Amino acid sequence: MPTSLQEVAVPTASPLPAPSRQARAAAWAVHALTMSGLPLAFLAILALIRDETGWMWLWLALAMLIDGVDGTCARRARVKDVIPWFDGSVVDIVVDYLTWTFIPALFMYLHLPLGPAPVAGVLTVTVLVSSLFCYANEGEKSSDNYFVGFPAAWNIVAVMLWALGTPAVINVVVTLLFVVLTLVPTHYVHPARVKRLRVVNITAVGVWLAGTAWLVTVHPVRPLAAMVLSLGGGAWLLLVGALRSARGAED
């Protein structure tokens, strides 16, 4: 028998094989996909400065579509295992804050009626600060992949308020409501990751995108069919989240 702990044989795990060149290339391609949101954010800001609202929403829509697929690509490419020293989640947060929160909030301040300038300024800063409680929240997603708390999707809020031409009182109330909901543990569906009704939810996103793009293209005209598509698709996604909130904790 061994006479000391040092003499006890401790099995050691075999080192993992080094990632192949193809695996590294795939992982970097996924990171490049995520980082492509940065030039899109730049183009959106440039369009906002030039008062080219339609182009701004186009660039933000492309960034949103990329954000919807890059996470799935990252998991399939095992980017954390292949390139462990480069944290793609940090890049994702930077891009999301710019395209989902900062640029839309700036657009709201410049282009939506939000009351007197001081009120509009305070509301905009409140949006920017409250959104950090989403991005920095480690419990941002439930075990079944719903967002917990409003996920700082101010691009969606801003485009809807602008496209529908709502008055200042509605804009202020809606803005304050979603600021509060950022801090309240209600649920919001992630269409690509939530398994329940996934096909229906993704279809609803497509319907919302079609209707909203129609409204943006013909703004300030508001065709009834476009409003039905946009509001209907959005209402379905909110309803799915509300039903999940009503169910309570999942097993």
In angstroms, the first-to-last Cα distance of the chain is 48
Q: What percent of the chain has pLDDT over 90?
A: 84
Question: Does residue 187 sit in helix, strand or coil?
Answer: strand
What average pLDDT does the structure give for the chain? 92
CB-based contacts of 247, cutoff 8 Å, min separation 6: none
- Distance of CA 176 to CAs 34, 120, 125, 171, 229, Å? 30, 11, 12, 9, 25
- Tell how many helices (H) and how many strands (E) occur in the chain: 11, 2
Looking at residue 160, its pLDDT comes to 97
**Tokens 């890049």, residue?**
91
Is residue 16 over pLDDT 80?
Answer: no
Q: What is the mean pLDDT of residues 112-132?
A: 96
The long-range contacts involving 104-111, CB below 8 angstroms and separated by at least 24 positions, are 104/60, 104/154, 104/155, 104/157, 104/158, 104/159, 105/154, 105/158, 106/48, 107/48, 107/53, 107/56, 107/158, 107/162, 108/154, 108/157, 108/158, 108/161, 108/171, 108/175, 110/48, 111/53, 111/162
pLDDT band at 235 (very low <50, low <70, confident <90, very high): very high
Looking at residue 250, its pLDDT comes to 65
Looking at residue 2, its pLDDT comes to 44
Give the pLDDT confidence of 144-188 residue by residue, as tens digits.
999 999 999 999 999 999 999 999 999 999 999 999 999 999 999
Is residue 18 over pLDDT 90?
Answer: no
Q: What is the mean pLDDT of residues 7-23?
A: 66
Looking at residue 14, its pLDDT comes to 54
Give the pLDDT confidence of 35-91 residue by residue, as tens digits.
999 999 999 999 999 999 999 999 999 999 999 889 889 999 999 999 999 999 999
| Cα dihedral 17/21/24/28 (nearest 10) | 170
Looking at residue 4, its pLDDT comes to 46
Q: What percent of the chain has pLDDT over 70?
A: 93
Q: What is the pTM of this model?
A: 0.89
pLDDT band at 1 (very low <50, low <70, confident <90, very high): very low
Q: CA gyration radius for the chain?
A: 22
Contact 144, 195 (CB under 8 A): yes
Give the pLDDT confidence of 24-36 residue by residue, as tens digits.
999 999 999 999 9
